[in-house]
């Protein structure tokens, strides 16, 4: 009865996952991300003309972006003048060389302020259907603007930021040349968002999806099969291996049982909607580059990828995953790391 029960659970999770995605505004036609990425690419995956028929989809061709705006966005992403005391840039919490995160349980803001949640990776954010763990931002532009004025992050104001950037002749002239409105809050976050859209890079697994049998090892392929067999693809599928729906943390068992209910970050989507049914509901994170982004989960409670997989098995699938299965899944997850750094 064990295997049929696991199959039933996996099917139910798959149905439930797609129902949640549909409730979140998913569609098979027309844009849903607000990030300039068509729904058929961001949510379901790139249109497949060649390659393997899998629930995971390879990264689509890079979007056509204005290279000058991308370059400007890269400068701003690293510019500490976005913060009140000129001590912190976007890269401070989203180090591109470390999987797009800072490796800390909680990011450190201006003046040593400690954030309330584990910073998510920025490397594949362009293919998320919403931004932040609770989905409060619908676009990359909204996400890019949030930390600037957040008192525990950059703690600045837009007048302060614009005054500092405007005093830089090169930046001022560049904004005037590239944007009709010149230097403004909208043009600043637009440039940063375009830079973030340029970040996704394919992995070895993308090459395997395209038909290259030599791209991943036998152990990694076995891990992918275990990943599918246990139903992990119910929430982690598509071009972003996740990032396209909300899901409750603790489907099969209450993850928050016994925890103090004093951390607003634990409430997830509830903080946005104030609906009781959204308590502990989170945007499913992308698993691209996940081998680089420890610690894991919104609360950084899993220090290693092995621990994270074990926790997912217990609370999301109702399974006490065998050690060998955990090892194989972790091997597969390593194949999702980008082969090049942006």
Active site residues: 153
> How far apart, in Å, are the Cα atoms of 240 and each of 124, 233, 277, 317?
7, 11, 26, 21
Give the whole-angstrom CA distance, residue 127 versus residue 46. 11
Query: Among all chains, which residue has been given the structure tokens 């693809």?
Result: 233
Contact yes or no for 281/251 (Cβ under 8 A): no
Report the alpha-carbon angle 17-21-23, nearest 5: 115
d(CA 60, CA 201): 10
In the block, tokens 């607000």 appear at 34
CA-wise closest residue to 139 among 128, 150, 149: 128
Burial 245-279 (b: 16+ CB within 10 A, else e): bbbbbebeeebbeeeeeeeebbbbbbbbeeeeebb
Alpha helices in the chain (DSSP H): 2-23, 39-42, 67-77, 140-149, 158-166, 169-178, 185-197, 204-209, 218-229, 270-273, 305-312, 323-334
């Amino acid at each position: 009865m064990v295997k049929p029960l696991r199959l039933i659970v996996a099917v139910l999770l798959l149905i439930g996952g797609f129902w949640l995605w549909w409730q979140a505004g998913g569609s098979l036609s027309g844009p849903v991300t607000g990030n300039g990425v068509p729904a058929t690419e961001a949510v379901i995956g790139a249109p497949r003309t060649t390659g393997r028929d899998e629930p995971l989809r390879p990264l689509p061709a890079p979007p056509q972006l204005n290279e000058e705006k991308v370059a400007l966005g890269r400068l701003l992403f690293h510019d500490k003048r976005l913060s009140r005391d000129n001590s912190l840039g976007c890269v401070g919490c989203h180090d591109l060389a470390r999987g797009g995160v800072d490796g800390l349980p909680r990011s450190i803001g201006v003046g040593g302020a400690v954030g309330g949640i584990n910073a998510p990776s920025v490397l594949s954010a362009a293919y998320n259907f919403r931004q932040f763990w609770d989905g409060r931002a619908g676009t990359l532009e909204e996400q890019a603007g949030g930390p600037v004025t957040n008192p525990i992050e950059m703690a600045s104001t837009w007048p302060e930021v614009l005054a500092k950037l405007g005093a830089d002749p090169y930046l001022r002239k560049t904004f005037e040349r590239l944007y009709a409105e010149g230097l403004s809050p909208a043009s600043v976050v637009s440039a940063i968002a375009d830079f973030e859209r340029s970040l996704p890079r394919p992995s070895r697994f993308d090459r395997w999806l395209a038909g290259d049998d030599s791209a991943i090892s036998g152990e990694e392929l076995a891990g992918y099969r275990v990943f599918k067999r246990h139903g992990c693809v119910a929430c982690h599928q598509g071009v972003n291996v996740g990032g396209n729906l909300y899901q409750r943390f603790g489907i099969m068992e209450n993850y928050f049982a016994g925890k103090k209910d004093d951390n607003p970050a634990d409430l997830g989507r509830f903080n946005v909607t104030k609906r009781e049914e959204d308590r502990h509901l989170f945007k499913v994170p992308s698993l691209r580059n996940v081998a680089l982004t420890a610690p894991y989960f919104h609360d950084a409670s899993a220090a290693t990828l092995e621990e994270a997989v074990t926790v997912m098995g217990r609370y999301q699938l109702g399974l006490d995953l065998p050690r060998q299965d955990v090892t194989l899944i972790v091997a597969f997850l390593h194949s999702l790391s980008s082969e090049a750094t942006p």
